[in-house]
Structure 1
Amino acid sequence: MLMHPSRDELLKNIDSAYSLCVIAAKRSKRIRDGEKLMLDDYHSVQPVGKALEEIAHGDILIDPKSQVVE
């Protein structure tokens, strides 16, 4: 169960639950692969928890100019 950060706190920075899942998955993979962490202190030890904490902190946002091209 997700306790910290809360879903409501996360959705203040990301406009949809789907986007939140995609961004958290991409960032957690980068953390797992060794990319530099954005915060000094984390509550979570798992990469996905760390990614969610970075999103809640406002360090990761969606680029409004990005487009999906098929």
Structure 2
Amino acid sequence: MMLEPSIDSLMESINSKYTLVTISARRARQMQETNKYLIDSFDSKKYVGIALEEIKEGKLHYKHEE
């Protein structure tokens, strides 16, 4: 079973697996509460999967502050 989007393609946008997991989990909770999405069509049936698809499409970003 191949997961889509792949971790390699997601790591091009966000270079930390920890950050990737944190952002997708926060976004999943937000989608669950608001039922609003940043992309029009998606393959996943779960909120975390949709969040990962949003990251892959470049619709979800984060700002790294030092």
Give the TM-score of the pair, scaled to structure 2. Answer: 0.89
In the alignment, structure 1 residue 40 sits paired with structure 2 residue 35:
no
Shift of 1:61: 1.1
The aligned length equals 66
RMSD: 1.6
SS across alignment from 1:33: helix
State the partner residue of 2:62: 62
One-letter amino acid matched to 1:60: L
CA distance in 1, matches of 2:6, 2:43: 13
User: 4+ residue stretches of structure 1 with deviation over 2 A?
Assistant: none
State the partner residue of 1:25: 25
SS across alignment from 1:18: helix
SS across alignment from 2:34: coil
Answer with 1 or 2: which has the greater Rg. 1
Gaps of 5+ in 1: none
One-letter amino acid matched to 2:26: K
Shift of 1:45: 1.0
CA distance in 2, matches of 1:14, 1:2: 20
Gaps of 5+ in 2: none
